Amino acid sequence: MSSLQPLASAAALRDGATALAPGILAAFTIAAAARFLSEHYGAPMMLFALLIGIAFHFLMEPGSRAAAGIEFTSRHLLRIGVALLGMRLTLTDVADLGAGTIAMVLGLVAVTIGAGVLLARVFGRGTQFGLLTGGAVAICGASAALAISSVLRPGPRLERDTLFTVVAVTLLSTAAMIAYPILFHLLGFEPHAAGALIGATVHDVAQVVGAGFSISEDAGTTATFVKLLRVTALPAVVLLIALQQRRGGGTSGSGAGHFPWFAVAFVGLLMLNSSGAVPAAVAEAVSLVSQWLLVAAIAALGVKTSVKAMTSLGPVYFAVILCETLVLLGLALVAWTVILP
């Protein structure tokens, strides 16, 4: 009888993989299309993945063979992709910024998340929406939204809110990439300070790079380092939100009830990459895998959400994220003109 157990386990594993394959393949096909369009037309890859994914919402209809794989990609592959983000950073990147800048940026992250919770309550959206949007604005846009969403209490509303947040922060980040370099120039900031401000205020990494290097090499390098510092706050924020969700009554079957191992893995990979033991080629390969997983996860989220559900949200949702963006910009300007002149 025991000799049959390995065969039964192998059969179950094969059946599970067969059930997941159509949906996973669909998500990565959409991700490939989004990458192609982004490389040829210059628009954000995440936004393309979302829009294309929404067009394939019919894949989630009852009886669809792709539904299980789409669900698996949007949850489990997402967490693996977030964990692998750790290979993009080193402790040297963080230390090079200086203690004052580090304290200021981390302070901006904390205050922006707090402001997000407050604004969400003012607009009647609730604490969970404030944590989701505030974390996305404060840290790294779409990637942060996905990471934070994975430890919040699940449900149809969370998936809709997550997708809306990803769309909104991507659009606002693209607008900021164009507007912020002009704004900081008009305000008289020299390239290094302008780069620091861009890194502290623009949501997504790609747009930070684009905005920073549009000013100068120095501004681009500074913007990238400051942005990476915001990204290093992600695992701590995810852990704190997970603990808050547990105290708030998350059940063992929810995302909030599971320990966010991917946040710990993020820190572990960051430390490993900082040790110098990882060849540059390996680190780049892992970073590329992370990007593919995150784009596929966003595509899967798009597939899971209907246009009708998105349009039913109304302008109040966007108003929350816009106000959080303006709060972050205002605080950063005060910080760099008054506290760090």
Confidence (pTM): 0.65
Sorting pLDDT into bands at 50, 70 and 90, what band is 153? confident
Res 172: pLDDT: 84
Domain definitions of the chain by residue range: 76-339
* Phi and psi angles of residue 314, each rounded to the nearest 5 degrees, phi first: 85, 175
Residue type, 87: M
DSSP letter at 138 equals I
Range ranked top by mean pLDDT from 72-86, 103-117, 203-217, 327-341:
103-117
Q: Which of 54, 52, 161, 181 is nearest to 116 (CA)?
A: 161
Q: Which of 132, 111, 337 is nearest to 245 (CA)?
A: 132
Distance CA 38, CA 291 (A): 13
Res 94: pLDDT: 64
pLDDT in tens, 29-81: 999 999 999 888 877 777 788 788 888 988 888 888 988 899 888 778 877 88
Instruction: Tell me: pLDDT of 249 over 50.
Output: yes
Query: What is the pLDDT averaged over residues 232-245?
Result: 83
pLDDT in tens, 303-315: 876 666 556 656 8
Residue 120: how many other CB atoms lie within 10 Å: 25
Query: What is the pLDDT averaged over residues 265-292?
Result: 86
Distance CA 162, CA 128 (A): 11
Instruction: Tell me: pLDDT of 208 over 70.
Output: yes
